């Protein structure tokens, strides 16, 4: 059995490591209260992911709660399933999902945008729906003055198009605006739309003990590690050090799924 002396990931970790993982000092103290001891690196990594803005919406949840969550044609309340689901009549429903992939696209435009498309397609077909269309809303810096903005635009547009073509779902439309405020951190919002029979909708939740868990997809690599906590950080001069946090897409495997 591994111990703290043989595995450094099991040794107690301090607030400095917590801050490198994106946790605030007060959040580190809260983790200590919950566990009743100092957390180790593995535990801090889990908390940094689950408590990140990317996963928990801890900063924006107050605004999100002001939006409507239910309606006469909604088949799933906001936040209840992997994607939104609207009854469109005649036994059919429309599933849709919008997701931003801003930070990954800022440091690796091609894979950052491509995996953003892959993520929302996943959320559509895991509802039992078949994706039929993709859209996007993009913001870049001044491409006439900034080489970085041109790099962002070329990589993002190619990443979105290549993933959609490989996956077999067309990009039907989008919008793009340019402003110097987006030079460092572009905005990359992708949307996927699918259709499903209302009697064939699949729920994202499962309850009960003894249920089997199946992990399906590409082989797990080192890419994407600490991706959630990275996506919740500010973009700085050292953000390129987080390049391994950007996941590498595999549209052909996802198409098989």
- If 0-12 CB within 10 Å is exposed, 13-18 middle and 19+ buried, where does residue 36 land? exposed
d(C-alpha 228, C-alpha 53), whole Å = 8
d(C-alpha 8, C-alpha 40), whole Å = 9
73 catalytic? Reply is no
CB 48 within 8 A of CB 22: yes
Contacts 24+ apart (CB under 8 A), 139-142: 139/176, 139/177, 139/178, 139/179, 139/182, 139/186, 139/187, 140/176, 140/177, 140/178, 140/182, 140/186, 141/178, 141/179, 141/180, 141/181, 141/182, 141/183, 141/184, 141/186, 142/178, 142/179, 142/180, 142/183
Catalytic annotation, pick one of 54, 103, 152, 226: 54
| Angle formed at CA 64 by CA 59 and CA 68, multiple of 5 degrees | 170
The structure tokens 């996802």 sit at 254
d(C-alpha 88, C-alpha 247), whole Å = 35
54 catalytic? Reply is yes
CB 130 within 8 A of CB 202: no
Alpha-carbon torsion (37, 20, 224, 60), positive or negative? positive
Catalytic residues: 54, 101
């Amino acid at each position: 059995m591994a111990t703290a002396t043989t595995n450094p990931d099991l040794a107690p970790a301090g607030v400095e490591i917590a801050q490198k993982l994106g946790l605030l000092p007060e959040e580190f103290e809260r983790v200590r209260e919950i566990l009743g001891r100092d957390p180790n690196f593995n535990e801090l990594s889990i908390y940094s992911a689950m408590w990140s803005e990317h996963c928990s919406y801890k900063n924006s949840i107050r605004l999100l709660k002001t939006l409507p969550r239910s309606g006469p044609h909604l088949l799933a309340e906001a936040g209840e399933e992997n994607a939104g689901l609207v009854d469109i009549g005649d036994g059919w429903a429309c599933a849709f999902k919008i997701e931003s992939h801003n930070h990954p696209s800022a440091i690796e435009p091609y894979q950052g945008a491509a995996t953003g498309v892959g993520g929302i397609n996943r959320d559509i077909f895991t509802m039992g729906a078949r994706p039929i269309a993709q859209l996007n809303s993009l913001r870049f810096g001044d491409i006439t003055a900034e080489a970085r903005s041109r790099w962002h635009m070329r990589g993002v547009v190619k990443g979105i198009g290549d993933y959609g073509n490989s996956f077999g779902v067309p990009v039907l439309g989008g919008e793009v605006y340019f402003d110097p405020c987006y030079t460092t951190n572009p905005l990359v919002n992708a949307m996927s739309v699918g259709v499903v029979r209302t009697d064939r909708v699949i729920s994202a939740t499962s309850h009960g003990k003894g249920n089997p868990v199946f992990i399906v997809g590409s082989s797990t690599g080192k890419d994407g590690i600490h991706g959630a906590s990275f996506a919740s950080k500010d973009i700085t001069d050292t953000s390129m050090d987080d390049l391994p946090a950007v996941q590498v897409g595999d549209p052909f495997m996802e198409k098989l799924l």
